[in-house]
Structures are given as C-alpha cells and as structure tokens.
Amino acid sequence: MSKGYLMLETGETFEGDWIGSEQNISGEVVFNTSMTGYQEMMTDPSYAGQILTFCYPIIGNYGVNDEDEESKKLSVSAVIASDVCDDYSHYQATTSFSEELKAANIPGLKNVDTRSLVAAIRKHQTVHGVIVSEKDKEKFVSPLKRYDNMELVNRVAVKTPETYGSGSHHVVLVDFGYKKSILEALLAQNIKVTVVPYHTSMEKLDLLKPDGIVLSNGPGDPMELESYFPVIKELVEKYPTLGICLGHQLIALAYGGKTKKMPFGHRGGNHPVKDLLTGKVWMTSQNHGYVVEEESIDTNAFQVLFRNVNDRSLEGMKHVSKPIQSVQFHPEAHPGPSDTVYIFNDFIHQVITAAKEGTSAYVEA
C-alpha cells in the first residue's frame, strides 16, 4: 500500500494511504459532518472541484449500491477519510467504497488524521490543497489550481433537455448541477419535470410552457454566473419559482442582493434552521460554501423565512407578492433529515393554484 500526502497551501501536510486512483490532484479542501451518506456526498454535483473530508471516522462499512447516487458519476475531485472499511455489509451493496473510487478514476487517502485536518480547515477557513505521491512530495511546487465556476457548472449540468414523469402540471428544473433527489421529490408530486441546461434561453423556456420553475443547487461561486442574472429575474417574475441552495443565491443576486464566502461552509445533515413564521426549528441537510448577506435583501421585495440557529445566516426567503420562494438548505436531504420536505408540497400547491387562477405566464386568457 503506497503512501500519499495531502499538502495544504497553509503549510500543513497530512500523511495517508492511497485509495482509488493514484494521481496528483488539487482543489478546495472541505469537510462534511454527516455520519452516513458518503455515496450521496461523492455524487453530489455541488462538490465538483473539491477534496471532500469525511468527519465520521469509519467510511465504507455499508458499501456502495446502485440506488443512492445523486448524479450519474462521482463529482468530487478526491476524498479524505480516517478508517475505510472495504469488508462491507449491506443487502443492497454491489461494490466497496475503494473500488467505486477506482472505477471512477477518483483519488483518495485513508488512514489520515481527519480530526487534525478539520481543525486546520476551521483555523484557516477557506483552504486549498493537493494530494501527491511520496515521490512528488518534496518536489511539488506548482501553484494550486483554482477552478473556474463556469468550468465546474459545465462539467456537472445536463447538456440537453431531459423529461421525466407525467401529469397535468409541468415544472422545469433549471440545472446548475442538480441532485437526483430533487428530481425524485418533484416527481413524487405526480407532475411532469423537464430538466434543462442552465444556459437555456428565455425563448426556449417559454416554449416549454412550464407551470413552475425550480433553480437547482450547483458548485462554486454564484457571482461567476452574473451574466445569467437578467434571465433568472425575468424567469422567476414570470412563473412560480423555488430556488434551492445555489438557486436560492441566484434569486437573491438577481434582485440586487449580495453573497459572501463563508469561513468553512455548512456541510452536514444536522444544521438547525428556525422557521420565523412558526417559531419551529427544523434539522436540515446542507452543502454550501457561500451565503446570501441578509442585510443586502430588499425587504420591500422579500421576507426572510428561515434563519440558521447557530450562526444566524439567511436560510430562506419568499417574495412579498409573487410565488417565489428559496431555501439555502436541501429540503430533499439525501443524506440527512427530511424535516423540510414539505417545502416541495408548498411549491407544487403554488404551481397548481397559479394554473387554476390563470396566473401562470403561458395560460391564455
């Protein structure tokens, strides 16, 4: 078993053993605190360009199956783990954690001191690093690659429209790197869903005659999608809309709001979020490194719906008069709690109501 090294730009080096594909690779080093769901995490398109550290000390014990992928391939650049169990035990499992990495040509390290690594990330906040082999450890001096957001979104978004399900109502999912569970949550509402590339023109979107729009999650800095803000604003002004994660940020930015990089992001399945209308606290699944600055939101246009209990960051908002709502967390979860799956029910209710009242943009008088 050959040695590998994670070298942070801040100077720390962490030794481990290679798993998956033995190749040098760089990226932002992030961590997720969830106890389960490593397969969903690795296939979540929002992790594109990132080296994912698993906080939970044992990874791989229930193997990898054919059901729990959140996209058609692994999205992470690399993974870092403490103890990796390849002697898996689960009735659905078809392969091991390490074999899944190898088949996808994704590198990783195991037997790493992940507690110390997470402490270093929390200390330095945003940290980039590179995984190298022992022979390259001393001579590696190349600058660490910073991925362009458009490169990441292009990598994970669909290239052509895809249609799923059937029903009397039609929702268009604008894809910046959507999770399969978002699509499944929509299909569970007995509707037709068309997934379209993020760069689809307004004219083509109108031709689809949607009853509603969902703006998906996705990787990277939302400000790098600035050229699409005008289309996004026109779209959400025209149709009932739900924004999730990156989609939430894009709605805020399209209306003149601001976003900022978080110290080390929210990634895990135990983030408490308070519903400001009811006072209830929901446990949520989250995966994001940027956040909308609440003070930048136009209160004449949007009402804050949710706020994070731990750091009081903005977690959701709705338009004061139009059927537009957005959430920073993932109501579909996977992995994580399903406390907030009701948000899909509320959205589809808005879609159906707008269609019945003839307020959907495509409905002819």
Per the domain annotation, does 364 fall within a domain?
no
DSSP-based three-state secondary structure for 298: coil
What percentage of the chain exceeds 70 in pLDDT? 96
The predicted pLDDT at position 286 comes to 98
Residue 361 confidence (pLDDT) above 60: no
Tell me: do 110 and 171 sit in the same domain: no
Helix (H) or strand (E) holding 267, with range, is strand 259-275
Rounded Cα distance, 7 and 130, in Å: 5
Tell me: do 254 and 179 sit in the same domain: yes
Tell me: do 232 and 134 sit in the same domain: no
The CATH code of the domain that includes 34 is 3.50.30.20
The predicted pLDDT at position 350 comes to 95
Per the domain annotation, does 363 fall within a domain?
no
Tell me: do 259 and 296 sit in the same domain: yes
Give me the number of domains the chain comprises: 2
What percentage of the chain exceeds 90 in pLDDT? 90
3-state class percentages of the chain: helix first, strand second, coil last, to nearest 5 = 25, 30, 40
Domain stop point among 147, 167, 184: 147
Per the domain annotation, does 365 fall within a domain?
no
Helix (H) or strand (E) holding 164, with range, is strand 162-164
The predicted pLDDT at position 137 comes to 75
Residue 82 near residue 57, CB atoms below 8 Å: yes
Average pLDDT over residues 146-166: 92
Tell me: do 212 and 343 sit in the same domain: yes
Domain stop point among 147, 164, 179: 147
Tell me: do 209 and 265 sit in the same domain: yes
Residue 303 near residue 315, CB atoms below 8 Å: no
pLDDT band at 141 (very low <50, low <70, confident <90, very high): low
- Taking alpha carbons only, the member of 184, 264, 220, 247 closest to residue 75 is 220
Per the domain annotation, does 252 fall within a domain?
yes
Residue 146 confidence (pLDDT) above 80: no
Q: Give residue-wise pLDDT tens across range 195-211.
A: 999 999 999 999 999 99
Per the domain annotation, does 347 fall within a domain?
yes
User: Where does the chain have alpha helices with state H?
Assistant: 38-42, 97-103, 114-124, 134-137, 149-156, 180-187, 202-207, 229-238, 246-254, 342-356
Q: Report in angstroms the alpha-carbon separations of 4 from 11, 25, 84, 249.
A: 16, 11, 15, 37
Domain stop point among 93, 119, 147: 147
Per the domain annotation, does 266 fall within a domain?
yes
Average pLDDT over residues 281-305: 97
The predicted pLDDT at position 81 comes to 98
Average pLDDT over residues 6-21: 95
Q: Give residue-wise pLDDT tens across range 89-140.
A: 999 999 999 999 999 999 999 999 999 999 999 999 989 999 998 877 776 6
Average pLDDT over residues 42-55: 97
Residue 323 confidence (pLDDT) above 80: yes
pLDDT band at 257 (very low <50, low <70, confident <90, very high): very high
DSSP-based three-state secondary structure for 184: helix
Reported as half-sphere exposure (CB side, CA atoms, 13 A), residue 156 has a value of 31
Tell me: do 302 and 219 sit in the same domain: yes
The CATH code of the domain that includes 197 is 3.40.50.880
Residue 363 confidence (pLDDT) above 50: no
Tell me: do 136 and 237 sit in the same domain: no
The predicted pLDDT at position 173 comes to 98
Tell me: do 177 and 290 sit in the same domain: yes
Per the domain annotation, does 335 fall within a domain?
yes
Q: Give residue-wise pLDDT tens across range 160-185.
A: 999 999 999 999 999 999 999 999 99
Per the domain annotation, does 270 fall within a domain?
yes
Tell me: do 140 and 171 sit in the same domain: no
Tell me: do 228 and 278 sit in the same domain: yes
Helices 180-187 and 342-356 sit at what angle, rounded to 10 degrees? 50
Residues belonging to the active site: 245, 330, 332
Range of the domain at 115: 3-147
Residue 364 confidence (pLDDT) above 70: no
Rounded Cα distance, 82 and 64, in Å: 18
The predicted pLDDT at position 365 comes to 32
Tell me: do 166 and 130 sit in the same domain: no
The whole-chain average pLDDT of the chain stands at 94
| Burial of residue 79 (number of CB atoms within 10 Å: 0-12, 13-18, 19+) | buried
The predicted pLDDT at position 277 comes to 96
Residue 330 confidence (pLDDT) above 50: yes
| Residue 69 structure tokens | 């992928």
